[in-house]
Amino acid sequence: MKERKCRTAREEGQSIVILAMAMVGLLVFAGLAVDAGVVYVTSVRLSRAVDAATLAGVVELPYESSLSSTSNADQRAREFLGANEIWSTAEITGTGFFDSARQSGVLGTYRYAITATHQADLYFLPLVNFDHVRLSDSAVAEYNPMVSIYASQTGNYGIEQTINLSVFGPDICSSYGDPYTPSHSPWWDELKGVYHFRLDIPANYGGVAKDLTRRWNGGDDTNDIVRIEIWDPDCYNNPLPGNQFVLTNTITRTLVTIPNACGGNDRRQPCTPETGDVQNPFGFVRIDENRQGDPANDSSCSTPTNYSAALNTTTRYTLYYYRKRGDGSLERRDLARYTKGGAESDSDTDMLWVSPGGSRPDDPLPDGWVGSSYGFTWHEGDGNFEIVDLDPDSASSETPDIYVDPADGGRTLFLDVQALSGASENGFDLWAGPRYRTAPGDVNARNVDIILQAGDYHSGAGATWSGIGHLPMNNNTEDAVAEITLTYVPANYEGRTMVVESFDNDYPDLVDSIVFYFDTMPQDDWMKQMTPAGNGDWSKVSFTIPSAPTHTFYGGYLMAEYEANDPH
């Protein structure tokens, strides 16, 4: 009996030990489940906080003291992290808690990346000596404060109008109408003398372009080609221009003489005489302006007594795109460059639409090719302005790994326009689209050709040029109402504030004021007036985009309308 009792007591003690060990195991597993939930909830909160902080910080980058600084953005990002209870601790400080950096992005945009680390305190796992878990999360935000302004008033078909793009040389005074290219201008630092343009190419461009070239060329191009054309890239004015133009409303298409079209042969001034034709109202004889300035100051400029080619502006056009790296950042890749002056030897492109290095007889040699005066090494493609195959993954693509907009599948090319020397105004324009083999290069002949062919002949297949935040425009007619398409504003922008600035409208040469309106709304329902800027001055207007309950805004193109007494 005694021996049996001892055995029973010994068995009961073993059961208690086993049960206690099992309870510890159960607590560990329960702790794992609870603490895993804590870690998950904390990681979600950290991720949301980092996303919010990145978005809050990126909008501060345009106001930093330098292009490398992130101090304002970091301060705002830290504030948002704190508002979400993400703070530094005694254990997690400095860059171990918060780190940030700028990233390279598409021109005109700011990219801001941050990484934040947060400590998740555990409840049960400290029983087995695990007190906390460190979590890190990263995010990248992109911000584009500039509105893309439609760069060319030629429209989708490339019919030249009396409002074109232009740049002055660095020796001119800013009061002549260009605040950013004169080297001594008080506003030079903003653009460093370079105007930036973007060419947006829709996702369906290839299919549309092939259909157009199949019907209008008698056979589609083998590859998706985007032909980038510059009108009158030089600063040369013809001394003996013709004064005959084809009128589109004459059945026989005979030449009609316009006597004294330019009031003589003054090569210093542009000339766009009226033809009297409703469909083709203006002829183009000269488009540039011969001017002189003083490189040392911003106040001594004038029209020379006699035309001087030495005063003409040399302009550089650089084409490029952005390649997406493996880490998601973007890298600029040069495609082609063309530099053109205003000497007598530069007359080969006068009043012509050309694509440097392209396949048409009038196309000049681009920089970097044999025989070019300016050396240039391109990163991709073959150095010309006819770009083949924009598919980022295609073996034949001249734009490998091009950044594709995840929202709509569109791709973008960029063009920098920089005046290198001179003081004169170089008028030019831009168009891009499929390669139309029979389209004339001469601007007057092309205008008539497009009008007479009608239909979708010479359509750009949706390729659209825009100025990035700034647009250098010039009007070459007098006593004519000018309508300018500025930008498209989507419906979800209703109620937001929009700001438009204009420089040197030569007021009071402008009649009345500049009127802004949307093409989807009658002006009687909504419009905004702006007093034009005087010589060498800025004018600014701020307005609220129409919204409910006063208006129903469906989105639309923002338009500007004014009447000029004199060309400017």
Query: Which comes out higher in pLDDT, residue 352 or 163?
Result: 352
In this predicted model, what pLDDT tens digit does every residue of 183-229 receive, in sequence order?
999 999 888 999 999 999 999 999 999 999 988 988 767 678 999 99
Specify the pLDDT at position 4: 47
Model confidence band, residue 285 (pLDDT cutoffs 50, 70, 90): confident
Residue 15, pLDDT above cutoff 90:
no
Q: What is the helix (H) or strand (E) element at residue 323, kind and residue range?
A: strand 314-324
- Alpha helices, DSSP H only, in 409-456? 443-453
137 pairs with which residues across the strands? 116
Measured between alpha carbons, how far is residue 437 from residues 210, 212, 246, 458 in Å? Answer: 13, 12, 21, 10
Residue 510, pLDDT above cutoff 80:
no
Instruction: Pull the structure tokens for residue 449.
Output: 């050709």
Q: State how far Cα 12 lies from the chain centre.
A: 82
In this predicted model, what pLDDT tens digit does every residue of 158-175 receive, in sequence order?
889 888 999 999 999 999
Nearest to 180 by CA among 198, 195, 166, 165: 195
For 383-399, the DSSP string reads SSSEEE---TT-TT-SS
In this predicted model, what pLDDT tens digit does every residue of 388-443 receive, in sequence order?
888 888 888 899 999 998 889 999 999 999 999 999 999 999 999 999 988 999 99
Q: Where are the domains of the chain?
A: 10-143, 148-473, 478-568
* Percent of the chain's residues with pLDDT above 70: 84
Specify the pLDDT at position 6: 47
Specify the pLDDT at position 278: 78
Peptide bond into 126 cis (omega under 30): no
434-457 burial by CB neighbour count: b if 16+ within 10 A, else e? bbbeebbbebbbbbbbbbeeeeeb
What are the residues whose beta carbons fall under 8 Å from the beta carbon of 382, sequence distance 6 or more?
357, 398
Measured between alpha carbons, how far is residue 424 from residues 367, 415, 566 in Å? Answer: 22, 21, 18
Residue 141, pLDDT above cutoff 80:
yes
In this predicted model, what pLDDT tens digit does every residue of 95-140 receive, in sequence order?
888 999 988 766 667 889 999 998 877 766 666 666 777 888 998 8
In this predicted model, what pLDDT tens digit does every residue of 440-495 receive, in sequence order?
999 988 998 898 887 899 999 999 999 988 889 888 776 667 788 888 999 988 99
Helix 2-58 vs helix 71-83: crossing angle, to nearest 10: 140
Residue 320, pLDDT above cutoff 90:
yes
Specify the pLDDT at position 64: 81
Nearest to 317 by CA among 189, 199, 455, 210: 199
* DSSP state at residue 355: -
* Mean of pLDDT over the chain: 84
- Alpha helices, DSSP H only, in 88-164? 94-97
Peptide bond into 508 cis (omega under 30): yes
390 near 402, Cβ under 8 Å?
A: yes
Residue 377, pLDDT above cutoff 70:
yes
In this predicted model, what pLDDT tens digit does every residue of 67-81 receive, in sequence order?
788 999 999 999 999
The amino acid sitting at 76 is: R
Specify the pLDDT at position 162: 81
Residue appearing with tokens 């701020």? 542
88 near 97, Cβ under 8 Å?
A: yes
Residue 86, pLDDT above cutoff 80:
yes
340 pairs with which residues across the strands? 315
Residue 253, pLDDT above cutoff 60:
no
Specify the pLDDT at position 325: 85
Instruction: Pull the structure tokens for residue 385.
Output: 């302005």
Nearest to 563 by CA among 513, 502, 500, 506: 513
137 near 50, Cβ under 8 Å?
A: yes
Nearest 5°: CA angle at 163, between 158 and 169? 105
Least confident of 46-60, 265-279, 302-316, 345-359: 265-279
198 pairs with which residues across the strands? 414, 466
Specify the pLDDT at position 125: 62
Q: Average pLDDT in the 21-30 region?
A: 64
Instruction: Pull the structure tokens for residue 482.
Output: 């000018």
Question: What does the alpha-carbon distance between residue 200 and residue 226 come to, in Å, rounded to a whole number?
Answer: 11
**Total-model pTM:** 0.80
Question: What does the alpha-carbon distance between residue 461 and residue 200 come to, in Å, rounded to a whole number?
Answer: 11
Measured between alpha carbons, how far is residue 48 from residues 34, 52, 174, 401 in Å? Answer: 21, 6, 48, 30
Question: What does the alpha-carbon distance between residue 174 and residue 183 come to, in Å, rounded to a whole number?
Answer: 9
326 pairs with which residues across the strands? none
- Residue 132 burial by Cβ neighbours in a 10 Å radius (0-12, 13-18, 19+): middle
Residue 250, pLDDT above cutoff 60:
no
Question: What does the alpha-carbon distance between residue 194 and residue 184 come to, in Å, rounded to a whole number?
Answer: 14
Model confidence band, residue 347 (pLDDT cutoffs 50, 70, 90): very high
Q: Average pLDDT in the 534-558 region?
A: 89
Question: What does the alpha-carbon distance between residue 84 and residue 137 come to, in Å, rounded to a whole number?
Answer: 14
Measured between alpha carbons, how far is residue 287 from residues 38, 219, 341, 431, 468 in Å? Answer: 70, 35, 14, 17, 24
The Cβ of residue 279 has, within 10 Å, a number of other Cβ atoms equal to: 13
Question: What does the alpha-carbon distance between residue 355 and residue 171 come to, in Å, rounded to a whole number?
Answer: 28
Query: Which comes out higher in pLDDT, residue 370 or 314?
Result: 314
Question: What does the alpha-carbon distance between residue 102 and residue 497 come to, in Å, rounded to a whole number?
Answer: 27
Question: What does the alpha-carbon distance between residue 248 and residue 397 come to, in Å, rounded to a whole number?
Answer: 40
Give the best-scoring range by mean pLDDT among 279-283, 333-337, 366-370, 491-495. 333-337
Residues in the chain: 568
Instruction: Pull the structure tokens for residue 361.
Output: 């007889």
Nearest to 311 by CA among 472, 169, 427: 169
Specify the pLDDT at position 87: 83
Residue appearing with tokens 């924009």? 390
Q: State how far Cα 459 lies from the chain centre.
A: 21
Query: Which comes out higher in pLDDT, residue 386 or 110?
Result: 386
Question: What does the alpha-carbon distance between residue 16 and residue 7 come to, in Å, rounded to a whole number?
Answer: 15
